Amino acid sequence: MLPTRTALTRTFALLALAGSLALAGCASSGGASTTPPPDTEAQTAVDAYQIGVDDIVQVTVWRNPDLGITVPVRPDGMISVPLVGDVRAGGLTPTQVADDIREKLSVYVRDPQVAVILTDLRSHEYLSRVRVTGAVRQPVSIPYRQGMTVLDAILAAGGVTEFAAPARSELYRSGDEGTRNYAVELDRILDEGDLSTNFKVAPGDVITVPERTL
């Protein structure tokens, strides 16, 4: 069963709280997990997101570029799609909207391949942000973007300061089993181009860069 909009809102709120818990040393696990989050974990969080009013959605139809659109969700929860007209998006996941459009388009297009992507999560502007805290040039709270990685978020924060201990950086994420923290070898990412821990981020993730111990 897909999570309700209320449940997602509560989950995003817990994610936003994770940053303050991390800085206070109150992480739910004894230490950062050495097992990286699976590549599909961040995408699953996005796929489960229920679209809201003012979110920007991009609809593409393979081999039919004229049917593609990028539009905000109207106050009535609808979007207008070429050929099929109004389609409900509000309260549904991107996959559900794509399935609905695919079914309606099948009257006009043979075996349409439809993709629906969220390009701007405006309805949960703060709950879905990615936050970077600690020893960075400019701690930031930035809107989540599809495909965003840890490195993207760190660069948006202006990089680390001279007092940072990037090797002890962590990514905090909430899930069905509570908040988990993952070790991020930010020093290897920045200095060696080793992207093995340059994880894809999910809405509500918190990245912390501690200061080194003197």
State the pTM of this model: 0.62
* In the predicted structure, residue 60 carries a pLDDT above the cut 60: yes
Q: What are phi and psi of 91, to 5 degrees?
A: 85, 0
- Residue ending a domain, among 105, 120, 135, is 120
pLDDT in tens, 72-112: 999 999 999 999 999 999 999 999 999 999 999 999 999 99
* In the predicted structure, residue 35 carries a pLDDT above the cut 50: yes
Q: Are residues 137 and 171 in the same domain?
A: yes
Supply the pLDDT for residue 136.
98
Q: How large is the angle between the packed helices 39-47 and 94-105, nearest 10 degrees? A: 70
Q: Are residues 152 and 167 in the same domain?
A: yes
How many H helices and E strands in the chain?
A: 5, 10
The pLDDT confidence band at residue 5, using thresholds 50, 70 and 90, is very low
Q: Are residues 75 and 132 in the same domain?
A: no
Number of structural domains in the chain:
2
Helix (H, G, I), strand (E, B) or coil at 207: strand
The residue segments making up the domain with residue 188 are 5-48+126-209
Q: Are residues 82 and 142 in the same domain?
A: no
Return the DSSP state at 33.
Answer: B
For 191-211, b/e burial (b = at least 16 CB within 10 A) is: eeeeeebbbbbbbbbbbbbbe
Q: What is the CATH number of the domain that holds 97?
A: 3.30.1950.10
CA dist list (Å): 58 to 10, 15, 119, 185, 186: 26, 26, 7, 34, 32
| Residues sharing a CB contact under 8 Å with residue 207, sequence separation 6 or more, in sequence order | 130, 131, 132, 133, 150, 153, 154, 169, 170, 171, 172, 184, 201
Residue 6's CB is within 10 A of a number of other CB atoms, namely 9
Q: Are residues 130 and 36 in the same domain?
A: yes
Q: Which of 13-17, 37-41, 148-152, 159-163 has the lowest mean pLDDT?
A: 13-17
Return the DSSP state at 3.
Answer: P
Q: What is the CATH number of the domain that holds 156?
A: 3.10.560.10
How far is Cα 190 from Cα 122, in angstroms, rounded to an integer? 31
Any domain includes 214: no
Q: Are residues 168 and 73 in the same domain?
A: no
pLDDT-above-70 percentage for the chain: 81
Return the DSSP state at 200.
Answer: B
Q: Are residues 130 and 182 in the same domain?
A: yes
- Residue ending a domain, among 87, 120, 153, is 120
Supply the pLDDT for residue 14.
39
